[in-house]
Amino acid sequence: MDWFLPEKFEKLTNLGKGATLCVLGSGPTGVETALYGAVLGFKVRILEKAKACENLVRWGHVRCYTPWQENTTLLGRELLKRLRLEQANRPLETIITGRQLALDYLEPLLASPLLKGTLETGISVLRIGNQNTLFPAGPGPITQETSKEFLLLTRLADGKEKLEATDFVADCTGTYGNPKWFGPSGLPAPGEIGCRSRIVYGLEDILGESKTYFAGKTTIVIGNGLMAAATVSRLAILARENPATWITWISHKPSALPILRVPNDPYRERDLLAAEANTLASRGENHVEFFPGMPIQQVEWLGEEAGFRLHCMGPLGPKTFEGERLICHRGFMPDTVIWRELGVPLDPVREDFGAELAHPHRLFGFDVLGAKRYGRRPGYLMKQVACQVRSFFARITRQPQLDLYRLCASKGETYP
């Protein structure tokens, strides 16, 4: 594997001392964490309960509004060059889909000499426990004596459970599989729990594989963010093709326009999407009907043919909506159950994007990286991954100045 790494990494490849690092999740954050750890000589395992990059692939039909440069890292692109892949020289400003990100970036890295064989699918991590103290033994290199051993309770695809020991753990499982409820005060609306399996919470491929499911139906969309904007925009296109398709867009906020646009937005794609969605909402075009200020009080499942009935409390009193399909885009929240026994704060990080961690009770050897790290707060971008990963490895190797991204940067090139 030494031939694969640039010479500038030569003095760093033994910092991990072969210590075991379990990375939970195989999305962009998980792959980046595993990559960084493998370069430093950690024995990396990527534990994934489903398939590689599955959540990313689920919304992969959608175009990222951030460019290639921000959805990849200097380290990842450096190693793509070592693999002599064409996409290593892709223009940094290129806009791609989530599926392209998985196919052109994550999958080649997983198949590279550094990470080949590290991905283990069909393994769910149920709980994480710490067998030792909350604090590191002191300054000095990582050794078997000073590393902090964790226990993972895992469940295999066949249902068998077992305990596994590891030196370090990075929870990179994200939030996409854990949607927020749409009832008052963040609680499930009465009836929501019972019909949760029938409600769509993710970004469906409305103009592709899910087209027949939505065509000719009335779809109720709940939410006032970019996911709702993307869904409504695609449903509006479908309504142009199939006039029997209608969209009822509900927001709990009273604003007449559903999407708050960013002044002088640096991401053109994001601003275009927000503008398009606001136009659809304000003009009622393409069978889109927008209803602001409508907190949901109850949801009923009426059966396969009739679908759903929503009871809301509007500005003029109670109002009822019915539709065969229901999509909720109220966002996602972290599932903190797996590391509850570690005693870390429920909201593990409260800091500005990219800042170094300074929590007085941070557990040595464990961290939450990626979208999950920011709890329920919106605004997380992929470019924050590099800052988080760099911080994590600087701590566990006790090398505050460690920065592989700086080593990869060309003269004058910006890096996180």
pLDDT in tens, the chain (416 residues): 566 788 888 889 999 999 999 999 999 999 999 999 999 999 999 999 988 888 888 888 999 999 999 999 999 999 999 999 999 999 999 999 999 999 999 999 999 999 999 999 999 999 999 876 444 444 444 444 444 589 999 999 899 999 999 999 999 999 988 999 999 888 999 999 999 999 999 999 999 999 999 999 999 999 999 999 999 999 999 999 999 999 999 999 999 999 999 999 999 999 999 999 999 999 988 999 999 999 999 999 999 999 999 999 988 899 999 999 999 999 998 888 898 888 776 555 544 433 444 444 467 899 999 988 877 666 677 788 899 999 999 999 999 999 999 999 876 666 66
Q: What is the pTM for the complete model shown?
A: 0.90
Which among 64, 57, 93, 88 has a CA at the least distance from the CA of 75?
Answer: 88
Q: How far is CA 218 from CA 44, 232, 318, 324, in A?
A: 48, 12, 20, 6
CB contact set of 201 (below 8 Å; sequence gap of 6+): 179, 327, 328, 329
Domains parsed from the chain with CATH numbers:
2-176+333-408 (3.50.50.60), 184-328 (3.50.50.60)
Q: How far is CA 411 from CA 67, 87, 207, 257, 414, in A?
A: 21, 21, 44, 45, 9
Query: Cα–chain-centroid distance for residue 266?
Result: 21
